[in-house]
Amino acid sequence: MIAKKKYNLEYEIRSSPKILFNFISTPNGLAQWFADDVNVRDDMYTFIWDGEKIRAKLLGIKDNRSVKFKWEDDEPYCYFELEIIQDELTGDVALSITDFTTEDEKVEKQLIWDNQVDNLLNVIGS
């Protein structure tokens, strides 16, 4: 089995952290850019793409800062985190994404995130 490695992507987002946090932490917000639909029961999120359901457990949430999930069928040490970073001097806001993948799938995964974040930018109007 090939071990997955952690990687990080960062995207500049023209939005307030509070508005952006709504898009990364609520089922309604996530359904507008990340998945076709999102359902939540307790700490279990069900993400739906083209009728396929994939479940992820909410590992942690920090108000107006970050949200961290673990896919149900992924390696025990793997997770993905969406974190809002705001530059103290300029006030610029960025979305930092931490995820895990194999070397073979890294380019494909980055393209998927690029596409998802493009959707987010369109929804926010950034």
Q: Does the pLDDT of residue 2 top 90, yes or no?
A: no
This model's pTM is above 0.85 = yes
Domains detected in the chain = 5-124 (3.30.530.20)
Q: Does the pLDDT of residue 1 top 70, yes or no?
A: no
> In the predicted model, what is the mean pLDDT of residues 91-99?
97
The helix or strand, by DSSP H or E, that contains position 28, with its residue range, turns out to be helix 27-31
> What does the pLDDT look like over 31-48, one tens digit per residue?
999 999 999 999 999 999
Cα gap 71→73, rounded to integer Å: 6
Please, how many CA atoms are within 13 Å of residue 19, restricted to the half-sphere of its CB? Answer: 12
Q: Mention every residue, 6+ apart, whose C-beta is less than 8 A from residue 37.
A: 31, 47, 48
Q: Are the beta carbons of 124 and 22 closer than 8 angstroms?
A: no
